[in-house]
Amino acid sequence: MSHSLGVRQAQKQKTRQALLDGALGLLEEQSLSSLGLREVTRVVGIAPTAFYRHFRDMGELGVALVEEALGSLHVMVRAILAEQDGAEERIDRTVAVVEQHVRRYPLHIRFVARERHGGVRAVRQAIAGELDRFAEEVAAALKTQPVSEGWCDDDVRMLAELYVDRLVMTAAALLDAEADGVEGAAGQVVRVARRQLRLISIGRRHWREEK
C-alpha cells in the first residue's frame, strides 16, 4: 500500500474537512439549527449543491462534528487519567490539561457546550452518547484507584458523571472568560475549579464512612 488513498478520495476528504472546518468557524457565533447550508459552502468556496456529495443535511454534518470534537476530548481525558500522583497533584494537572485543551481547541469546546442542549436532536443524542462512553471510561479508571475500595459500581459511576460534567462546565466557563477579555477572569475560573475538584475529592475520601 504505497498510497493509502487515490487522488479522487483524497480530494473528497479534503473538501469534506473544509466543510467541517468552515462550519465550525461559523458556529462560533451562532447555533447549528440556524446555520445554513449555503452559508457553509460560501465560506468554503464551493457550490451549494456540492454539499450533498458529503452530507445529507446540516444535522448529519453536526454529528460528524461531534465525533471530531469529542475525539479530541478523549485524548485529553486519557492524559488526565494516566497520572498516578497524589490527589492534589492530580487535580492541578487535570485543570491544567483542561486549560491547555481549551486554548488549543476553543471551537470544539464551544460547539459541544452549545449543542449539548441545542436544537438538533440527532446532535444532542450524539453528544450524550459520547459523554456517556466518556463517563464509563472515567469510571473504569476511578475504580482501579485505592480510594475506591468498597465502592459499588453505581456509586463509582455517579462520581464519574460528576467529574465529567464538572470538566465540561469548567471548559465552557474558561472559554467564556477568555472571550469576555476581562483580565484575570480565566485565572479566577481555574482557581475556583481547582477548589471544587478538591471538595469533591474530599467527599470521595469520606464517602464510605457515612451512610
Applying CB under 7 A, among 30, 31, 52, 78 the residue interacting with DNA is: 52
- C-alpha span between 187 and 180 (Å, rounded): 13
- For residues 4 to 43, the per-residue mask of contacts with DNA, x marking binding by CB under 7 A and - elsewhere, is --xxxx-xx-xx--------------------xxxx--x-
Q: Are the C-beta atoms of residues 198 and 91 closer than 8 Å to each other?
A: yes
Applying CB under 8 A, among 11, 158, 182, 187 the residue interacting with a second copy is: 158
| Binding partner at 38 among DNA, a second copy, none, C-beta below 5 to 8 Å by kind | DNA
> How many residues of this chain bind a second copy (CB under 8 A)?
38
Helices (DSSP H) in the chain: which residue ranges?
A: 7-26, 37-44, 58-81, 87-104, 106-115, 121-144, 153-180, 185-205
The string over 11-40, giving b where at least 16 C-beta atoms fall within 10 Å of a residue's C-beta and e elsewhere, is eeeebbebbbbbbbebbeeeebeebebebb
- C-alpha span between 121 and 47 (Å, rounded): 27
Tell me how far, at minimum, the Cβ of 26 lies from a second copy, in Å: 10
Restricting to residues 76-115, name those near a second copy by CB under 8 A: 110, 113-114
202 is a site residue for a second copy (CB under 8 A): yes
Q: Are the C-beta atoms of residues 20 and 65 closer than 8 Å to each other?
A: yes
Span interacting with a second copy, options 16-24, 40-48, 71-79, 190-198, rule CB under 8 A:
190-198
| Binding partner at 116 among a second copy, DNA, none, C-beta below 5 to 8 Å by kind | a second copy
- C-alpha span between 152 and 164 (Å, rounded): 19
Dihedral over Cα of 184, 186, 187, 189: its sign = positive
Give the count of alpha carbons within 13 A of 205, CB side only.
Answer: 8
Applying CB under 7 A, among 49, 117, 184, 211 the residue interacting with DNA is: 49
1 is a site residue for DNA (CB under 7 A): no
Applying CB under 8 A, among 128, 137, 148, 171 the residue interacting with a second copy is: 128
132 is a site residue for a second copy (CB under 8 A): no
Binding-site ranges for DNA (CB under 7 A): 6-9, 11-12, 14-15, 36-39, 42, 45-54, 57-58
